[in-house]
Structure 1
Amino acid sequence: MAQQFNINRPNKVWTTDITYIRTYQGWLYLAIVMDLYSRQIVGWALAEHMKTELCVAALQMAYWHRKPDKG
């Protein structure tokens, strides 16, 4: 599969990832959303679980902050 990382405008392509962080109180999960144009983190969410809600919260933050055009 060919990957295209040369994006010509903001909010055209976002990518996501999840990682886990060990703390004294247990594991935390961090979901991030990155704009491939600027390479900036545009949304994130932290939770004690890796359920769908974690990813949805990160995407909602990104959408709220960036307000991308339709399409």
Structure 2
Amino acid sequence: MPAQQARAVVSRLVLNQRLTCTPVDRSWNRIVARCSLPDGRRLECAVIAAGAAVRWDRYWRRYGMGDCR
């Protein structure tokens, strides 16, 4: 999926939503956080389920992301 399409998927998921985010670490001078949508879905799982991202097990384990349902 091209980057513009992936951005559109993420925008559609979060637009006008209040996310709950918890920082878990830093990577490349950026904050790594777990974020949940108002309906309780985890943002990273929703983005993967929509096909806009792939799970990299190395980093998934490093940041303790757990399982997607």
TM range (shorter): under 0.3
Greater fraction of residues in strand: 1
Higher relative contact order structure (alpha carbons within 8 Å, sequence separation ≥ 6): 2
Q: TM-score, normalised by structure 2?
A: 0.25
The structure whose Rg is larger is 1
Greater fraction of residues in helix: 2
Q: TM-score, normalised by structure 1?
A: 0.24
